[in-house]
Amino acid sequence: MSSIASLLRQLEAERIDTVQLQFTDLMGAVKVVSIPSSRLPDVLGRGVGFDGSSVEGFAREEESDMRLVPDLATACTWPSDFSERALRIICDVVLPDGVPFAGDPRRILARAAERARAAGAPEMAVSAELEFFLLPQDERLEDAHLGDPARYFDALSSDIAARCLRSMAGGLTEAGVPVTQIHHEAAPHQYEINLTALPPLCAADAVVTAKLVIRREAARFGFTASFMPKPFTDHPGSGLHLTFAPAGETADVARCAAFAAGILAHARGLSAIANPTVNSYKRLGGSEAPGFVGWSDHHPAPYLRAVGSAWEWRAPDASANPYLAIACALVAGADGIEQALPLPDRLDERPEMWSEEQRFLRHVAALPETLRDALDALEQDDCLQAALGDHAMRHFLEAKRLEWAAYARTVHVWEREQYLTL
């Protein structure tokens, strides 16, 4: 939107009477405060208050007063629950005195971008490849593979799925997130939508918006959209590949290499942010998801893939908070530039085929195998801790360690099948 005045004219012309103020909590869950459109001029100037103590990872009860400050550049029309149009605006979170809240994921990313610029990193454009499953709501999950014989890049076997994907692409374009490509992925009912390259903060906004649009349109067509990293044992999981490309026409090859080397150097700690669920680690190391730290330009499953002067980070999945994932990658890359880290040798073979001794001698590290291991790695990484800040780091670790503990205590079906008759 070009100005407050033009935005208000649009609200009046389209008879939009609701504004949805959107933000995310530390874990990436979307939160919304709705206001009458008549309040928008006042809210644009002063923000709107909310109880931060009720939001995951935000504040203690004694620090509960916070305010949402709308970012006008993110305004777009948005379907409401009753087939009417609303206006959606993504917000920053500030304290009552107007100071940016240190635990706001958008603030963490903005701070990381500043840190990367100060280190001399090139301005980056970030594009996202978002993989997900479209599961028919009238089908048992166990039978999901029966209704879709298509595989990589096959023509869609379902007309309703094709119409649903077209509707997703249209909804994303309407929300200001143009789509560059859609195709069928390797597993039954699995698809990928590629988003256009944007500056880091806009790219994270786009991923959050894309997940909302995909879920909304899937439900309209009788599907459940799942971004679960590994929903099926015998089929590939879903990732969120993020490509970092220098935004200028010319790229400093040495700095881009050092940027990639920084991401590789912090890969184990990055796992806790890029793969933040217990299920994430059932995807890593399988099919085309990386299990080891390395880069290549033609290896089938590298952690980083070189694409000209760009680097595709293939480890993340869509359970990650995209603001935190992009922020930590930027700071890791900046650390690589500041330390002038050399890029390791290119990985041309699959480390899975090597012995542990061979991997040790070739300096190829394994990614964490569990969320607990990843959290331990994050806790030992001073660079990533600084990227998140004390508040976010403390609350993130606390929440995720509780998640791991709950998972570890739960008796799963597989255990009963294996051990019930011992």
Q: What is the pLDDT of residues 192-213, one digit of tens each?
A: 999 999 999 999 999 999 999 9
Task: Pick one of 3.30.590.10, 3.10.450.200, 3.30.530.20, 3.40.140.10 as the CATH number of 258-422.
Answer: 3.30.590.10
pLDDT in tens, 7-23: 888 888 888 888 999 99
For residue 60, pLDDT over 50 is answered with yes
pLDDT, greater one: 301 or 121: 121
- Give the pLDDT of residue 78: 86
The torsion angles phi and psi of 284, rounded to 5 degrees, stand at: -65, 135
Closest CA to 274 of 254, 303, 294, 247: 303
Q: Kindly report which listed range (60-64, 94-98, 368-372, 392-396) carries the lowest average pLDDT score.
A: 60-64
Specify the CATH number for 123-250; select among 2.60.40.10, 3.20.20.140, 3.30.450.20, 3.30.590.10: 3.30.590.10
pLDDT exceeding 70 applies to what percent of the chain?
Answer: 95
What's the pLDDT at 238? 96
What are the domain boundaries of the chain? 4-101, 123-250, 258-422
**pLDDT bucket at 247, cuts 50 / 70 / 90:** confident
Residues contacting 140, CB < 8 A, separation 6+:
none
CA distances from 64 to 101, 118, 339, 395 (A): 12, 33, 40, 15
Contact 92, 71 (CB under 8 A): yes
Tell me phi and psi for residue 413, to 5 degrees.
Answer: -55, -45
- For the chain, the average pLDDT equals 90
Whether residue 402 is predicted with pLDDT greater than 50 in this model: the reply is: yes
pLDDT of residue 1: 43
Considering only CA atoms, which of 170, 206, 197, 182 is closest in space to residue 131?
A: 182
What is the arithmetic mean of pLDDT over 300-327? 94
Interval 378-395 mean pLDDT: 96
In this predicted structure, the answer to whether residue 302 has a pLDDT above a threshold of 80 is yes
Residues 210-235, mean pLDDT to the nearest whole number = 94
| Same fold yes or no, 123-250 and 258-422 | yes
User: Domain 4-101 is classified in which CATH homologous superfamily?
Assistant: Glutamine synthetase, N-terminal domain (3.10.20.70)
Judged against a pLDDT cut of 60, whether residue 61 lies above it is answered with no
Q: What are phi and psi of 359, to 5 degrees?
A: -65, -40
The string of pLDDT tens digits covering residues 177-193 is: 999 999 999 898 999 99
* Single-letter code of the amino acid located at 352: E
Is the per-residue pLDDT at 292 higher than 90? yes
Can you tell me the distance from the alpha carbon of 138 to that of 224, in angstroms, rounded to the nearest whole number?
A: 10
